[in-house]
Each structure stands twice: as structure tokens, then as C-alpha cells.
Amino acid sequence: MSVELSPRAIEIAEHTKQLIAAGGYNGFSYADISERVHIGKASIHHHFPSKADLVHAVVQRHREQSREGLAALDQHISDAPARLKAYTDYWAGCIRDGQLPICICAMLGAELPMLPQEVANEVQRYFEDLTAWLQAVLETGVAQGKFHLRDSAFVEAQTFMSIVHGAMLTARALNSPEAFEAISRTALSQLTRSS
């Protein structure tokens, strides 16, 4: 399912994504977007009648972009450890340059009980997508003789995902992109180490 938005709506969505990364669902208002995009709040409401509609569209776009990015990794990198490293390197770059200092779904996941249901459902779907991709990569790595799992591929995928997203929080708390890189490097090395 592709999220079809006008160029102005895409601009609004991209600024909203940055605001969500900075402060979560309740950390911004339409006034903040209006200031960034230089349009009136009524114009924002024209594209997205409610904040829930806006954030739902932003998370849908994020999921779609994520799926495309992960599919590109699958297509261009056959070695499973290299694929996971490329995934963590992407986030390391985002954190280092401040482009997207934390996954918006990690931010929203912390607020899940307080989110509108349609937004919460989309956030959960993001994590389901990511878990499925990680599980497939881990299974590939086992078949390639590159990964040594201590539990099922599903549990190991959830564990790796949790470590990576937790590392994003650690990097933010310590203002240290290096912390993210060190933690994700350790998570990857634990998968490649024999029991």
C-alpha cells in the first residue's frame, strides 16, 4: 500500500517526522509545523484534518520507506552479517548527522498506550515488519554458517531489534553517536560468535 500525498503534504509529513523524532506525538502542534513549513494551520488541516491523521500518514510513509530500504539491502547484499551491518550503519549515520536521531516508531512505541488507536496499530505493524525482516536475515545467516543463534530466529530478531532501538535511546541520553555504534557492533558480534 503506497501512501499518496501531494508535494505540500509530503513536505508537511517530512517536517512532522523530524518533530516526532525530537519529542514524540505530544511534543509538537500544528503551530510548530506551520512555523516550519510557512503555511497556515488551516492549510495543514486541509491536508490532514487531525493530528492523528497526520501522524498515521507519517508512520505509514515511514513503514513504506523502511520496507523499500530493507528490500534494497536484501537485493544488494547477500552476506547476512553485512546486511545487518548496513542496517545499523544506516542508523549510525542518521544519529551522527542528526538527520533522524531516533527511529520515530521507537519514539512513538514508548507512547503507545496514549496514542490514537490507528497510529498505535501502524507503529505495531512497523515493528512486526522489522522483526520479520530481521528473522529472515538471521535465518539466512544461519544457513550461510555465519550466525550462531542461542534461541529461535524470531526471539533473536526481537532481541537484536530491541538492542538497536535501545542503543538509539542510549546515544540520545549520552549525546554520543559512538555509543550507538559500539552497542550495535557488539550486538552483531554476539550473533557471529560461537556459543
Whether residue 30 is predicted with pLDDT greater than 50 in this model: the reply is yes
| CA distance linking residue 100 with residue 50, whole number of Å | 24
The answer to whether 135 and 161 are in contact (CB under 8 A) is no
**Of 54-63, 91-100, 168-177, where does mean pLDDT reach its minimum?**
91-100
The x, y and z cell numbers of residue 70, run together, are 530493507
Distance of CA 140 to the CA centre of its chain: 22
Whether residue 151 is predicted with pLDDT greater than 90 in this model: the reply is yes
CATH node for 7-192: 1.10.357.10
pLDDT per residue over 34-82, tens digit each? 999 999 999 999 999 999 999 999 999 999 999 999 999 999 999 999 9
The answer to whether 117 and 131 are in contact (CB under 8 A) is no
Residue 99: predicted pLDDT: 77
pLDDT band at 194 (very low <50, low <70, confident <90, very high): low
Whether residue 1 is predicted with pLDDT greater than 60 in this model: the reply is no
* Domain spans of the chain, in order of start: 7-192
Write the CB contacts of 32 (distance below 8 Å, at least 6 apart in sequence): 19
